Amino acid sequence: MTPPADAVYATLAAIFRRVFGREPGALDAGATSQTIAGWDSFRYVEIIVELETTYGIELDGPEIDEVHTVGDLVALVLAKTGARASG
């Protein structure tokens, strides 16, 4: 079953806290690596790997290319988990 967006945001917030070791700041749909201090390549990779492990999905390179905001990332997770559930 596809998790509702709110649940993905909550999971993502927990992942950000773990990866950053602190509250990362406002994690709304419009948040980007420009609005969240310290969101560098290394942390981004850790976030992706944690999302993959949590949801049992794989986010490939070309899919990540389309992610510009936290909202995009949540939408991608929803799409991938939905695809897995129906596929």
Partner 1 sequence: MLQTAVMHSTGAAIRIGGRCVSYAELACRTRSYAAAFAAEDVPRVLIALPRGAEAYAAMFGAGLAGGCYTPVSDASPPHKLRRIADLLAPNIIVAGNPLAAMLAKASSSTRIIDPADLAPGMRLAEPKPRHATAYITFTSGSTGEPKGVVVPRTALNHYVHWIRQSGTVLPGDVVSQFNNLAFDVSVLDIYGALCTGATLVPLGGRGDRLMPARAIAREGITVWTSVPSAIDLMRTAGQLTRANLGRVRLFTLAGEPLLRTHLDAIFAACPDAAIQNAYGPTEATVTVSQMRLRADRYDHACLGRAVSIGPAIPGMRLHLAGGAHADEGEIVISGPQLASGYLNDPARTAAAFRPIEADGQTVRGYYTGDWGERHRGLIFCRGRIDAQVKIRGHRIEPDEVAGAIRSLDWPNVCVFKHDGLLAALVECQPGQTLDADALRLALGRMLDAYAIPSRIASVAALPRNENDKIDTARAARLLQEMPQ
Q: List residues binding partner 1 (CB under 8 A).
A: 20-23, 37-38, 40-42, 44-46, 48-49, 59-65, 67
- Name which of 22 and 84 has its Cβ closer to partner 1: 22
Q: How far is the CB of 10 from partner 1 (least distance, A)?
A: 21
CB under 8 Å to 5, separation ≥6 — which residues?
74, 78
For the record, the structure tokens of 40 come out as 């560098």
Q: How far is the CB of 30 from partner 1 (least distance, A)?
A: 18
